[in-house]
Amino acid sequence: MIHFDAVQKAFGHGTTRVEALRGIDFDVPRGQMCAIMGPSGSGKSTLLHLVAGLLHPDHGRVLLGDRELSAMSSDDLSLMRRREIGIVFQFFNLLPYLTADENVALPLRLDGIAHDEERERVARAMDMVGMTHRKNHQANSLSGGEMQRVAIARALAISPSVVLADEPTGNLDSIAGRQIIELLRMLNEDLGVTTLVVTHDPVWGSFCDRIVRVSDGRITEDIALTGSGGAGRA
Ligand SMILES: Nc1ncnc2c1ncn2[C@@H]1O[C@H](COP(=O)(O)OP(=O)(O)OP(=O)(O)O)[C@@H](O)[C@H]1O
Ligand SMILES: [Mg+2]
């Protein structure tokens, strides 16, 4: 599903040049939930941005299915992001003065989805994340965990084939964090969404099928977790 082939990516020039990724070979099969862990600055977010087509590699290739992202036009890439990739960040990125429902509806509206279908998809996504009871609340009145659930609903409403989550629990306490990881796991299993999640906490990593450790732009460890549904599940 996701394929990295000898990917290198650097930023800056001269003395400020940073080799963010120094040769990444990496395959994520369809339906897998893969945790990416590693120290700050090791290249985790860069990796996710490459999958989203927000960055292009300097060398090597990134493929989503059979499409090489660098070969796609920027219009096709934005369409792909809008229709196929759900993105969840550490800082929820909701529009504060819109309601929860309105936030979830935004990407559908951008995509010109008909009103009835929009309502239906928003209701379904909000139900999946357990936020129906807050659907008319303004985003800035929600708790951190609730905001993140709405952000996940927004990512889901498009029926993505891939979800990219960059430290989705980074701003949450451990209980809310656990709920978010369990939610991502449930959606991965129920909907078969291929999921890449950057996380600092090994506990969250253990909810995944696999943990990939990145250090200084290289993969240093690639651990398959045993048992159906990952080692962290009861
Ligand atoms: N747009 C950019 N311009 C310049 N340097 C960048 C840019 N994006 C990332 N870098 C550098 O590339 C390296 C990897 O960054 P990246 O954001 O991928 O790290 P990370 O593993 O996500 O770190 P963190 O855990 O702190 O989020 C860092 O040294 C960073 O400073
Ligand atoms: Mg990062």
* Gap between the terminal Cα atoms of the chain: 28
Ligand 1 atom closest to the CA of 49, numbered from 1: 18
Domain that holds residue 59: 2-224
Q: Is residue 135 part of a domain?
A: yes
Q: Is residue 234 part of a domain?
A: no
The helix/strand/coil state of 130 is: coil
Residues with CB under 5 A from ligand 2 (ion): 45
Q: Is residue 233 part of a domain?
A: no
Q: Is residue 230 part of a domain?
A: no
Question: DSSP assignment, residue 192?
Answer: -
Per the structure, how many domains does the chain have? 1
Most distant CA pair in the chain, distance: 55
Q: Which two tokens stand for residue 103?
A: 């936030």
| Four-residue CA torsion sign, 41, 47, 50, 54 | negative
Per the document, the length of the chain is: 234
42 CA to centre of ligand 2 in angstroms = 8
Which residues, 6+ apart, have CB-to-CB distance to 210 below 8 Å? 32, 33, 34, 35, 222, 223, 224, 225
Q: Is residue 190 part of a domain?
A: yes
| The predicted structure's pLDDT at residue 206 | 86
| The predicted structure's pLDDT at residue 174 | 87
Phi, psi of 9 (to 5 degrees): -145, 125
Q: Is residue 90 part of a domain?
A: yes
Ligand whose nearest atom lies closest to the CA of 216: 1
CATH number at residue 49: 3.40.50.300
**What is the CB-side half-sphere exposure of residue 225 using CA atoms within 13 A?**
21
**Ligand 1 pocket, mutate which of 9, 45, 212 (most atoms under 8 A from CB):** 45
Q: Is residue 166 part of a domain?
A: yes
| The predicted structure's pLDDT at residue 231 | 42
pLDDT averages per 10-residue partition of the chain, 234 residues: 97 94 96 96 96 95 95 94 90 90 94 94 94 96 93 92 93 87 92 94 89 97 72 41
| The predicted structure's pLDDT at residue 228 | 47
| The predicted structure's pLDDT at residue 226 | 66
Q: How far apart are CA 30 and CA 131, in angstroms?
A: 28
